[in-house]
């Protein structure tokens, strides 16, 4: 499916924008930047069984991952169809690289 999302999205077209906006509201507090802008979302799949998010972090040693996962779940609760489970999967492959940052994020960080 052709995607206008900043990450690969598979699922009902009507949910694409609300899901993207919900994920964009989750912010990395240290850099005041959305996790979507930092490029931490590897993909979203919405099926009849679940809303599945693939997430990475810049560091495996960062304890904040759990909080980010909780924040994602909380934001997606507001947009997911009632009763549809939300799953957030944390992966380390492929590793995050700065090229994944959005143009806005790169500009802010002086690229």
Partner 1 sequence: MPGQPASRLHSSLSARGKAAPSWAAIVLRPLLLALVALSLLAGIAGGLLRVGVSLPARLDADWLGRAALAHAALMTGGFLGTVIGIERAVAVRLRAAFLAPLASGLGGLCVLFGQTGPGAWLGVVAAVAFTGVNLVLLRRQRADHTWLLLLSALAWLVGNGLFATGWRSAEILPWWFAFLVMTIAAERLEMTRLMRRRPAAQGSLYAVLAALLLGAALSAASPVGGGVLYGVALVLLALWLGLFDIARRTLFAHGLSRYMALCLLGGYAWLAVAGAAWAAAALGLPVRDVALHALGLGFIISMIMGHAPVILPAIAHVKLQFGAFFYVPLAALHLSLIVRLGFGPADTSLRATGALWNAAAIALFAATVVGAALAWRFKYRNRGTPPTRKTS
Of positions 66, 79, 81, 104, contacts partner 1 by CB under 8 A: 66
User: How many other C-beta atoms lie within 10 A of the C-beta of residue 6?
Assistant: 16
Q: Which is nearer to partner 1, 18 or 108 (CB)?
A: 108
Closest CA to 55 of 75, 36, 41: 41
Window 4 to 33, contacts with partner 1 (CB under 8 A): 7-8, 29-32
Q: Which is nearer to partner 1, 13 or 64 (CB)?
A: 64
Work out whether 111 is an interface residue with partner 1 (CB under 8 A).
yes
Q: Which long-range contacts (CB under 8 A, 24 or more apart) does 14-21 make?
A: 15/46, 15/79, 15/80, 15/81, 18/79, 19/44, 19/46, 19/51, 19/76, 19/79, 21/79
Given the rule CB under 8 A, which residues bind partner 1? 7-8, 29-32, 38, 42-43, 50, 54, 58-67, 69-71, 73-75, 77, 85-95, 98, 100-101, 105, 108-111
């Amino acid at each position: 499916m052709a995607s206008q999302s900043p990450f690969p999205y598979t699922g009902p077209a009507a949910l694409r924008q609300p899901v993207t906006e919900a994920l964009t509201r989750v912010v990395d507090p240290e850099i005041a930047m959305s996790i979507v802008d930092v490029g931490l979302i590897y993909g979203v799949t919405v099926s009849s069984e679940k809303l599945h998010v693939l997430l990475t972090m810049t560091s495996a040693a960062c304890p904040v991952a759990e909080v980010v996962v909780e924040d994602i779940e909380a934001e997606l609760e507001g947009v997911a169809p009632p009763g549809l489970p939300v799953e957030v999967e944390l992966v380390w492959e492929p590793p995050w690289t700065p090229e994944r940052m959005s143009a806005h994020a790169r500009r802010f960080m002086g690229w």
